[in-house]
Structure 1
Amino acid sequence: MHPARRLWSSLEPLHDVVYFAPGVRDAGVAIGLRGFWMTYFAFRAAPLGPVGAEPVVAAFAGFEPSMVAKALPEAWARATPAACLVARSEVSAAALRKVGVDEAVCATVAAELGPVLAAADGTGRPLHAANACLPLPDDPVAALWQVATTLREHRGDGHVAALVACGLSGLEALLLQVGFGRFPGSQLRSVRGWSEHAWDSAATGLADRGLLTGDGGLTAAGRELLAEVEERTDAASWRGGLSAVGEAGVDRLVEVLAPSVSALWASGVLPEINPTGLERA
């Protein structure tokens, strides 16, 4: 496994509590947001400032535009980006503490990866750059959550660039993942807001390109293209910042984080099948 992917598999679960922890929706509602999806879009977009739906549709990739427009910009009339940043940090740190992450490990890893964030290449990476300029909290657990978040957005921005380079839209990328067998199609379509018509039309287009079979499975060409996207994503993540850690450094960080990541998975907070593509180690 590529070292960039190995480190992502340790950091992504820590970040993902901001989506799946039981208290996230309530944290958004407490500051004036309306429900889970407004909280999701406002919390994740908050580092960008009070942006409208269009930049978020572009940066997040894969969401049906009208789904995003139901949350933004209305969210900013209900809660400021600054309030969202505080709320997401607090609820995420609380969730990680509840499952028993090691605070000393959090402090060590956050301190070690902090310089990597400062030196990482922000070219074409708006979500990474917006997160990278946020000050790290004094709380070591919150600091590690923010480090994990900034690095995952660095990888995510690079992933979107890889999709574009391979001639894929966000919707088409979802269909390829379904074709690979990673997610149930009906579930992924629903959580990303796509109509059956839009979903089926995109699937037909991919079949016409020889990437999907008639029943939605991947063709050989589809598998090759999906593999290319993942290889580009790993390479961009590594070249753009993580190479400063080095392969030996990745091995050590993965080992140090392993007990905390295992505790998080064992807690049941993270679903076994999830839209982030994260698989339990």
Structure 2
Amino acid sequence: MTTAALPDRAARRCHNVLNPLHSTHYFSPELASELAELGVEDRSAAYFAVRAAALGPVEAPVVTATFYNFRPELVARHVPAVWRTASPAAVLDARLRAVDTSLRRLLGEEIIGSPELAEAADLALHAAQACAPHARPLYAAHAALPVPDAPHLALWHAATLLREHRGDGHLAALLAAGLDPVEALVTHTATGKGMTPKWVLATRGWTEADWDAAAERLRGRGLLDADGEPTPEGVAHRKELELATDRLDVAPYEHLGADKVARLTELATGFLTTAFLNGAFPDDMIGKG
């Protein structure tokens, strides 16, 4: 039972601080080291392995479909070959070890052992109880994994569930909005909130020609102007896309209730700020540059 209606965009604000807490491990030297111990040294292979491992030893088309915005040829270069190097079970164990050590480095032992972190873990796990698996393969796969005992790992696990739940719904919204994988990246970058083109091209496998062709298609639809900036129609289109994602993702936060969502947002914001200050993410990753 909720005690009050959720304020406008409260669920999105909570997601926006939980999601980066989940994502810190993708950029951590600890993850690279753990995967290298298994024989997985390529950065793209490591990413595909750790995020897809919960699905089992799936083929490249499954990863391409569930991740949405990666070039199929890049995925096929590493999947399913990565499973011959390291089993999904071994990757999942390595990932959890990396999350443990990286969060301890980024947050410090005082925060790791604090009652506030344990409180945040309880709140996030409670919210995740209301996530639905229907048409959400990445969420469903991660929901089948055991909840770690340590509070900081339980918080990370819950953040992962909430991230993938929203992410799976976001893909449905992208399809409804008529945005293909590259168009989705271009429109997100154009808002100044997505990864820079440099990071997209380096990590998603697309070429500058792919990027330019997508931008041209978006200009043809009236969503971008000649300078690559969103037109008023483009702003409205992206706004509706995010609102559609919000509608598909509201259940966990309604389940938690307005007061507890506000508290979880407050706690996670503090943890994320500490992680940022301790170098959790590359400085040039976000923006239009």
TM over 0.5: yes
Q: 3-state SS of the aligned residue for 2:222? A: coil
**Aligned positions of 1:266-281 closer than 5 A:** 266-274=277-285
Q: 3-state SS of the aligned residue for 1:232? A: helix
Of 19, 39, 56, the match for 1:32: 39
TM-score, L = length of structure 1: 0.91
Which residue identity lines up with residue 211 of structure 1 in the other structure?
A: L
Asked whether the 8 Å contact 2:124–2:159 carries over to 1, the reply is no
Alignment match, 1:170: 181
Q: 3-state SS of the aligned residue for 1:124? A: coil
TM-score, L = length of structure 2: 0.89
Counterpart CA distance in 1 for 2:87 and 2:62 is 17
Say yes or no: does 1:208 pair with 2:220: yes
Counterpart CA distance in 1 for 2:149 and 2:192 is 41
Counterpart CA distance in 1 for 2:19 and 2:163 is 7
Alignment match, 1:59: 66
Say yes or no: does 1:108 pair with 2:115: no
Q: Deviations over 1:197-226 (max 9, x none)?
A: 222222211111111122322111111111
Counterpart CA distance in 2 for 1:242 and 1:201 is 38
The 10-residue stretch of structure 1 (266-275 or 161-170) with the greater mean CA deviation from structure 2: 266-275
Say yes or no: does 1:262 pair with 2:269: no
Counterpart CA distance in 1 for 2:267 and 2:229 is 38
Q: 3-state SS of the aligned residue for 1:188? A: helix
Of 89, 95, 109, the match for 1:82: 89
Q: 3-state SS of the aligned residue for 2:29? A: coil
Unaligned runs of 5+ in 1: none
Counterpart CA distance in 1 for 2:179 and 2:83 is 31
Alignment match, 2:192: 181
Of 203, 207, 210, the match for 1:198: 210
How many Å apart are 1:105 and its aligned residue?
A: 3.0
Alignment match, 2:229: 217
Asked whether the 8 Å contact 1:12–1:152 carries over to 2, the reply is yes
Which residue identity lines up with residue 193 of structure 1 in the other structure?
A: G
Q: Deviations over 1:145-199 (max 9, x none)?
A: 1111111011111111110111111211111122223343243223211022222
How many Å apart are 1:273 and its aligned residue?
A: 4.7
Asked whether the 8 Å contact 1:27–1:87 carries over to 2, the reply is yes
% of aligned pairs identical? 39
Q: Deviations over 1:201-258 (max 9, x none)?
A: 222111111111223221111111111111111221113x221011211111122334
Point out which structure has higher relative CO (alpha carbons under 8 A, 6+ apart): 2
Say yes or no: does 1:46 pair with 2:57: no
Unaligned runs of 5+ in 2: 1-7
Q: 3-state SS of the aligned residue for 2:227? A: coil
How many Å apart are 1:272 and its aligned residue?
A: 4.3
Of 158, 161, 165, the match for 1:147: 158
**Shift in alpha-carbon separation, 1:186–1:272, aligned structure 2, 3 A:** closer
Number of residue-to-residue matches in the alignment = 275
Alignment match, 1:11: 18
Alignment match, 2:76: 69
Counterpart CA distance in 1 for 2:229 and 2:9 is 26
Asked whether the 8 Å contact 1:6–1:250 carries over to 2, the reply is no
Runs of 4+ aligned residues of structure 1 deviating over 4 Å after TM superposition are none
Asked whether the 8 Å contact 2:44–2:203 carries over to 1, the reply is no
Q: Deviations over 1:67-117 (max 9, x none)?
A: 111111011001111111111111012111112243333332223332432
Q: 3-state SS of the aligned residue for 1:119? A: coil
Counterpart CA distance in 2 for 1:71 and 1:178 is 26
Q: CA RMSD in A?
A: 1.8
Which residue identity lines up with residue 153 of structure 2 in the other structure?
A: A
Alignment match, 1:235: 247
**Shift in alpha-carbon separation, 1:115–1:184, aligned structure 2, 3 A:** closer
